[in-house]
Amino acid sequence: MMFDKDLDLITTNSFVLSPLFEGEMKSKVMTRDGYLYSTLTPIQLLEKICIRHGSTFQGRIDAVKELLGYSKKLPLYIGEGIYAYPTRSPYHPECVWVFYHSYRYEAYSKGQTILYFDHGEIVILDISLHTVKEQQQRLASIILSLRFNKQQTLIRRK
For residue 2, name the pLDDT band (cuts at 50, 70, 90): very low
Within a domain: residue 46?
yes
**Sign, CA torsion 36/11/140/69:** positive
Within a domain: residue 135?
yes
Within a domain: residue 8?
no
Cα distance between residue 84 and residue 11, in whole Å: 11
Range of the domain at 78: 13-157
Amino acid 154: pLDDT: 46
Amino acid 124: pLDDT: 97
Cβ atoms of 53 and 79 within 8 Å: the answer is yes
Within a domain: residue 69?
yes
Which amino acid would we find at residue 75?
P
Within a domain: residue 106?
yes
Pairing of strands 14-22, 103-109: unpaired
Within a domain: residue 73?
yes
Cα distance between residue 83 and residue 100, in whole Å: 5
User: Residue 156 above 70 pLDDT?
Assistant: no
Cβ atoms of 87 and 127 within 8 Å: the answer is yes
149 exposed, middle or buried (CB, 10 Å; 0-12, 13-18, 19+)?
A: exposed
Cα distance between residue 40 and residue 136, in whole Å: 26
Q: Which residues contact 11 (CB under 8 A, 6 or more apart)?
A: 31, 82
Cα distance between residue 65 and residue 69, in whole Å: 5
Report pLDDT digits (tens) over 33-56: 899 999 999 999 999 999 999 999
Share of the chain above pLDDT 90, in %: 74
Report pLDDT digits (tens) over 52-108: 999 999 999 999 999 888 889 999 999 888 999 999 999 999 999 999 998 999 999
Report pLDDT digits (tens) over 101-144: 989 999 999 999 999 999 899 999 999 999 999 999 999 999 99
Within a domain: residue 2?
no
Within a domain: residue 64?
yes
Share of the chain above pLDDT 70, in %: 91
Count of the separate structural domains present in the chain: 1
